[in-house]
Amino acid sequence: MRASLIIGVAGLTLTGDERRLLARSRPAGIILFARNIASADQTRALVAEVKAAVESEQMLVLVDQEGGRVQRIKPPLASLLPPAAAYLAHFEGDLTAAADAARSVARLLADELRSLAINTDCAPVLDVPVPGAHGIIGNRAFATNVNDIIALGRAFAAGLMDGAILPVMKHIPGHGRALADSHLELPVIDATQATLETSDLVPFRALADLPAAMTAHVVFKALDPAAPASTSRHVIEEIVRGRCGFAGLLMSDDLGMKALSGSFAERTRAVLAAGSDLALHCSGNFEEMTAVAGAAPTMQGIALQRFETAFAVTTRTPVPYDRAKAGAVLEALVARVA
């Protein structure tokens, strides 16, 4: 048994309350932030504590390690990573070279994450930024051209999976056009469905075979004017599962983001009722965690099958690679950004 839930914890070790909550709720995963990571030994010990509390080794351990502005683990515990936009810029538009570099860097990153007992990376970002959009995505996107995003996103995801790390593509069906930051308010996108079909949805449709994805807390007026995509059953069923063809493990973005309204129990029920397999809560606030855990049912049926298929990526034998070459590529990319 495991709950339809991924949660964060407050600090470097579990509190007694957290341990008891984990034992009762048995979430499908945890997500780590800088507040949870002080050293390699401590991080591995924290993950071991969580697994002992839920009495399962079959658990997703997530982190947001995209590179650039979104990198929870910093040197010396992990390499400094460039933002996604740096790959194509560094190779001056040579898509083949940029994709090779993205796969190499992701493969190296996979080793670093596995060494910390982390098995899931919330990347790649497949959002398509447009002129005038809010900068929350910005250079977290690989490019502005959908074909470039597809190639680079595919390469980065492949590198992670080569290293037995589960990639989570985000933010389906797209955050790049938003004029606001969903951490702070609810973005509303006015684009027509025809525009979305030829732009925002294209990378997600092309990479629909990836094993996991994260939704966007964004209203698309042409798709559902009344609810964010993450809480809209129409968007999840007709667009994410239907038009995009994504059949993998689907998790919500953070329930704590101000784009959502209602109690934390209501938010949990809303994303799961819409069609997400997992509700994600990140802050480590114990009162919020308790409410979310109380509203998250046990995973079963197709949701459990999707979880097991996604988790299987983390049990693969890592593919050999040239670590020295990957390190040199990474060093050159970071030097250019600096």
Please say if the pLDDT value at position 14 is more than 80. Answer: yes
Please say if the pLDDT value at position 338 is more than 70. Answer: no
Q: Return the residue matching tokens 């460039």.
A: 82
Q: Quick one: average pLDDT of 304-319?
A: 98
Measured CA to CA in angstroms, residue 182 lies from 179, 186, 218, 260 at distances of 9, 5, 7, 8
- How far apart CA 214 and CA 222 sit, in angstroms, is 20
State residue 188's pLDDT score.
92
- Per-residue pLDDT of 135-186, as tens digits, reads 899 999 999 999 999 999 999 999 999 999 999 999 999 999 988 888 989 8
From the centroid of its chain, how far is CA 207? 14
Q: How confident is the model at residue 336 (pLDDT cuts 50, 70, 90)?
A: confident
The order of strands in the sheet holding 249-254 is 166-167, 120-121, 60-63, 27-32, 3-7, 278-281, 249-254, 212-215, 169-172
Active site residue 253: yes
Whether 41 and 18 have beta carbons less than 8 Å apart is answered as: no
Whether 180 and 134 have beta carbons less than 8 Å apart is answered as: yes
Spell out the domains of the chain, with CATH numbers in brackets: 69-280+305-337 (3.20.20.300)
pLDDT > 90 in the chain, percent = 94
Tokens of 73: 């683990």
Residue 183, SS3? coil
How do beta strands 65-67 and 70-71 pair? antiparallel
- How far apart CA 252 and CA 271 sit, in angstroms, is 7
What's the mean per-residue pLDDT of the chain? 96
Q: How confident is the model at residue 257 (pLDDT cuts 50, 70, 90)?
A: very high
Give strand ranges (E) for the chain.
Answer: 3-7, 27-32, 60-63, 65-67, 70-71, 120-121, 166-167, 169-172, 188-189, 212-215, 219-220, 249-254, 278-281
State residue 77's pLDDT score.
96
- How far apart CA 91 and CA 197 sit, in angstroms, is 29
Residue 310, SS3? helix
Q: How confident is the model at residue 132 (pLDDT cuts 50, 70, 90)?
A: confident
Q: Which residues pair with 120 in a beta bridge?
A: 62, 166
Whether 54 and 299 have beta carbons less than 8 Å apart is answered as: no
Q: Which of 183, 190, 209, 322 is catalytic?
A: 183
Q: How confident is the model at residue 5 (pLDDT cuts 50, 70, 90)?
A: very high
How do beta strands 60-63 and 65-67 pair? unpaired
Please say if the pLDDT value at position 38 is more than 80. Answer: yes
pLDDT > 70 in the chain, percent = 100
Q: Which residues pair with 251 in a beta bridge?
A: 214, 278
Q: Within the chain, what is the greatest distance between any pair of CA atoms?
A: 53
- Per-residue pLDDT of 66-80, as tens digits, reads 999 999 999 999 999
State residue 251's pLDDT score.
98
Burial of 13 (0-12, 13-18, 19+ CB in 10 A): middle
Tokens of 297: 């049912």
- Per-residue pLDDT of 213-227, as tens digits, reads 999 999 999 999 999
